[in-house]
A and B are shown apart, each in its own frame.
Chain A
Amino acid sequence: MLTIENLHATVDGKEILKGLNLTVPEGEVHAVMGPNGSGKSTLAHVLAGRPGYAITAGTVRFKGRDLLALSPEERAREGLFLGFQYPVEIPGVNNVYLLKAAVNAARKHRGLAEVDAFEFLTLVRDKMRLMRMDESMLSRGVNEGFSGGEKKRNEILQMLVLEPSLAVLDETDSGLDIDALKVVASGVNTLRAPNRSLVLVTHYQRLLEHIVPDRVHVLVNGRIVRSGDRTLALELERRGYDWLIGEAA
């Protein structure tokens, strides 16, 4: 699904990703963990195609294609989804309109007709119930006045409606209380499928109790310094990141 080789990326001339390698096979859930400032969000943004990052070396293949050659909107239409660590508020752009425009953009890309308005609303309402979101949020501006937790749930709602092949969720667990975390986790789990992959970017292993990963990677100082199974997350919980930072240096 996703193969990253020797990825180097800089922001304002400062190198953040320094030769990152990561492979996420189809159907698997991978966690990327690491201390603050290690480059997790940078990786997520680079994958989604955010402007402002210079890729100085390396390749990224997504479903066999050169991901870096695609524009952000093409990546999304091809089935890449980024759940933002800090989702932006867009007052005046209606949530449901955004959802519909996003779904139709992907459908058009696949040569399908626009989604039926009634079916679409039914689907969105179903997913909202799953995410324990109030329907009134649909008619509000995108994330407008949403609490931190509501924003994260809205990200997952969008993911559930768009059904991406690869979702990169950047700290979707941060700022959630335990109940909200469970709701988010169960939402994410409904999407697990043999033809779909997930990358969970997180600082804590808490989320991984609810969404059990196939692999865990540790990102330190712009590189994956260690990979393992889910027990690696538990080890990180016990020992912290310091021992790996030492190794990475």
Chain B
Amino acid sequence: MSTAVLTRLKEEYGAARAALPGSVIDAHRRSEAIETLCAQGLPTGREENWRYTNLRVLERARFTPAQASAEVLPTLPEPLTGFARYVFVAGRLRSLATAPHGVTVRSLLSGGPADGAWRIASELPEARLALLNEAFATDAACIEARPEADHAGIELVFLAAAGADSGASYPRVRLALGSGARLTVVERHIGVGEASSLVNSAVRVELGPNAHLTHYRLQQCAARTAWFDTLTAELAADARYDLLAVGTGALASRSTVHARLTGRAAQLTLSAAALGAAQQSQDMYALSEHLAARTSTVQTFRGIASDRSRVAFNGKIAVRAQAAGTDSRQSLRGLLAGAQAEIDLRPQLEIYTDEVRCSHGATAGKLDENMLFYLLSRGIAPELAQHLLKWAFLEDVVAKIELPQLRRQIEHGLAGQMSEAVALKELL
């Protein structure tokens, strides 16, 4: 990454800093974040775990936060029954709801006790774009579930600003679940318009003992958006984190997930599906770090690359010496659906103890010819047959969506991205 970008980044920060809200992150920490990021440099394709990211878009990006314009909200997805919905426009809370029992939702911009101590960036170089968020964040959603929270539902909708010249948006979220709390969070990233803009999101998840978070993350940004996302999570003993991510939007999308399983018997399931079409790049790096005994990770990835797109998933499971009895499973699959498309799957295992059960598999290939012919031999049109098989390919992830209403929405989103397969509607 050229130094020119860093110089511009510093300039933009210098110009914007006075207007950045101290209640969200204080000025000192913001400056520190910029310094650290500039010292480390922006990611480059020479780094192993950024190889498949489209980083060129960062060179063109404008980092200054977009103004919170009074623009009318586009049609938002149908609200999920039983969920409290919070809408953020250009990174600032726009509409409030009544939080469910046992849950507090605060916007740090609109006051309340300052809560700047939490950080999203870890020491991991892959997580350093969270520093960009730390420097520029315009608001932060702070969601705390107390032990009495039971099957509560929160929906966060992040709407990116329309145009490149209006600037970047910085969604920032903290999800903290107290001991035994249960919460479902649906996090949507959507955009309007065609113009390119930068979305740099940062999410921090903290799960207390025996807490259970079900977290759906849908990236449906506008067609020319660059989405750079960092999520770090810490799981205490017996905590359970079910994370399901579906990426269909943006021009360049990169998500870094760093989960630390620090408590005994903590469980993580990470299921991700990504669709790439046209010139899109969909890239995900997920590190699951096992730091306590009897912890488990189940990673499932299904990606389809069409046209000239690139879909990448780099999943690393690190089992530290103290994590005896760890169980990890990894199943990564990619489907190449375009002559010029690319799939890159990298399962990585790093084990420092003997007492583990780890299985992993990664396969990338084309549509199965036998399956295709079977469908054709029943009179099904080739386009529909291909769509059906792609659909079937995603099933391992889609089937894990437990909310029927959300599942329908996601299926419609996937069908839409898989293009105008009219007949697929019947399937839904």
B50 within 8 A of A: no
Which of A50, A77, A90, A97 contacts B379 (CB under 8 A)?
Answer: A77
Q: Which of A19-27, A98-106, A172-180, A208-216 contacts B (4 or more CB under 8 A)?
A: A98-106
Q: Which of B375-417 touch A at CB < 8 Å?
A: 375-382, 384, 388-389, 391-395
Q: Is the CB of A90 within 8 A of B374?
A: yes
* B393 partner residues in chain A, CB cutoff 8 A: 92
Q: Is the CB of A102 within 8 A of B369?
A: no
Which of A88, A97, A101 contacts B374 (CB under 8 A)?
Answer: A88
Q: Is the CB of B389 within 8 A of A73?
A: no
A91 within 8 A of B: yes
Q: Is the CB of B392 within 8 A of A73?
A: no
A149 within 8 A of B: no
Q: Is the CB of B377 within 8 A of A76?
A: yes
- Residues A141 and B380 in contact in the complex (CB < 8 Å), given A50-B373, A90-B371, A98-B375: no
B423 within 8 A of A: yes
Q: Is the CB of A91 within 8 A of B392?
A: yes
B3 within 8 A of A: no
* B420 partner residues in chain A, CB cutoff 8 A: none
Q: Would you give 27 A-B contacts (Cβ < 8 Å), ordered by A?
A: A51-B369, A71-B376, A76-B377, A76-B378, A76-B379, A77-B379, A82-B377, A88-B374, A90-B371, A90-B392, A91-B392, A91-B395, A92-B392, A93-B388, A93-B389, A93-B391, A93-B392, A94-B427, A98-B378, A98-B388, A101-B388, A102-B379, A105-B378, A105-B379, A106-B379, A109-B379, A162-B378
With CB as the reference atom, state the residue of chain A lying closest to B378.
Answer: A102
* A71 partner residues in chain B, CB cutoff 8 A: 376, 382
In the bound complex, CA of A92 to CA of B395 (Å): 6
* B371 partner residues in chain A, CB cutoff 8 A: 88, 90
* B379 partner residues in chain A, CB cutoff 8 A: 73, 76-77, 102, 105-106, 109, 162
B426 within 8 A of A: yes
B69 within 8 A of A: no
In the bound complex, CA of A50 to CA of B374 (Å): 9
A87 within 8 A of B: yes
Assign chain B's interface to a size class: 20 to 34
- Sorted nearest first, the 10 A-B pairs with minimum C-beta distance are A92-B392, A76-B379, A92-B395, A105-B379, A102-B378, A72-B376, A77-B379, A88-B370, A73-B376, A93-B392
Assign chain A's interface to a size class: 20 to 34
In the bound complex, CA of A51 to CA of B378 (Å): 15
In the bound complex, CA of A88 to CA of B371 (Å): 6
A84 within 8 A of B: yes
Main secondary structure of the interface of B (DSSP, over half): helix
* A73 partner residues in chain B, CB cutoff 8 A: 376-377, 379-382
CB distance from B246 to the nearest CB of A (A): 16
Which of A72, A90, A92, A109 contacts B377 (CB under 8 A)?
Answer: A72
* B423 partner residues in chain A, CB cutoff 8 A: 101
Q: Is the CB of B381 within 8 A of A105?
A: yes
In the bound complex, CA of A75 to CA of B427 (Å): 25
With CB as the reference atom, state the residue of chain A lying closest to B394.
Answer: A92
* B381 partner residues in chain A, CB cutoff 8 A: 73, 105
In the bound complex, CA of A140 to CA of B225 (Å): 39
* B375 partner residues in chain A, CB cutoff 8 A: 90, 93, 98
* B380 partner residues in chain A, CB cutoff 8 A: 73, 98, 101-102, 105
* B389 partner residues in chain A, CB cutoff 8 A: 90, 93
In the bound complex, CA of A141 to CA of B388 (Å): 11
* A51 partner residues in chain B, CB cutoff 8 A: 369, 373
With CB as the reference atom, state the residue of chain A lying closest to B384.
Answer: A101
Q: Is the CB of A97 within 8 A of B427?
A: yes
Chain A 205-237 interface 0/1 with B at a Cβ cutoff of 8 Å (1 = within): 000000000000000000000000000000000
* A101 partner residues in chain B, CB cutoff 8 A: 378, 380, 384, 388, 423, 426
* A72 partner residues in chain B, CB cutoff 8 A: 373, 376-377
A158 within 8 A of B: yes
CB distance from B84 to the nearest CB of A (A): 33
Chain B 250-279 interface 0/1 with A at a Cβ cutoff of 8 Å (1 = within): 000000000000000000000000000000
Chain A 77-119 interface 0/1 with B at a Cβ cutoff of 8 Å (1 = within): 1000010100110111110011011100110010000000000
In the bound complex, CA of A12 to CA of B216 (Å): 48
A169 within 8 A of B: no
With CB as the reference atom, state the residue of chain B lying closest to A101.
Answer: B380
CB distance from A85 to the nearest CB of B (A): 12
In the bound complex, CA of A97 to CA of B393 (Å): 16
Given contacts A101-B384, A101-B426, 11 further A-B contacts (CB under 8 A): A75-B377, A76-B376, A87-B374, A88-B368, A91-B392, A92-B391, A93-B392, A98-B375, A102-B379, A162-B378, A162-B379
A48 within 8 A of B: yes
With CB as the reference atom, state the residue of chain B lying closest to A48.
Answer: B377
Q: Which of B332-382 touch A at CB < 8 Å?
A: 368-371, 373-382
